[in-house]
Amino acid sequence: MGVFQKGAGLVLFLAQFAPVQSMKLDSKNGILDASKGLAGDLISFYKGNETGQTPGLLPERTMGTDGYYWYQSGAFMGSFVDYWQLTGDKTYNKLVTEGIQWQVGKGKDFMPANNTASMGNDDQSIWAFAALTAAEYGYPEPSE
């Protein structure tokens, strides 16, 4: 048996002992609790609110590293707009508002200077959909 096969077998064996997030989806409160837990797990990928990082962006893809494309950050922000609308949980609203506003760009066209070299219209549309969804849901407007 090869090293890879032994390693894969060990991983599968140990996986049965890994903690699994249990969800009770048989009531509204159960669904809200599960959603809150999943949102908390998802937001752990976001570093845009940390010193030295760019608001609105997930860790970027660079030479030799895995990361996220600009449009994926827009979808990420949009998912938290949906989360707010569906659950009423405002926990992440400040991060989302800041993130979308940072990525709007000076021309208010979702062409921020920090990403113009690698974007296309389809990338802009993902961010625009996040903003349109927020407007349609009556998402709280920014204070500025």
Q: Which long-range contacts (CB under 8 A, 24 or more apart) does 108-114 make?
A: 110/74, 114/54
Q: Is 117 exposed, middle or buried (0-12, 13-18, 19+ CB in 10 A)?
A: exposed
pLDDT digits (tens, 9 = 90+) for 64-107: 667 888 999 999 999 999 999 999 999 999 999 999 999 999 99
Provide the pLDDT confidence category of residue 134 given band limits of 50, 70 and 90: very high
pLDDT at residue 135 tops 90: yes
Helix then strand count (H, E) for the chain reads 5, 0
Please give the pLDDT value at position 75: 96
Q: Considering the entire predicted model, what is its pTM?
A: 0.80
CA distance readout (Å), 139 to 15, 70, 84, 131 = 40, 22, 8, 9
Per-domain residue ranges of the chain: 24-137
The per-residue b/e assignment along 31-49, b for 16 or more CB within 10 angstroms, e otherwise, is eeeebeeebeeebeebebe
pLDDT at residue 27 tops 80: yes
Residue whose pair of structure tokens reads 């048996």 in the numeric block: 1
pLDDT at residue 117 tops 90: no
Please give the pLDDT value at position 13: 55
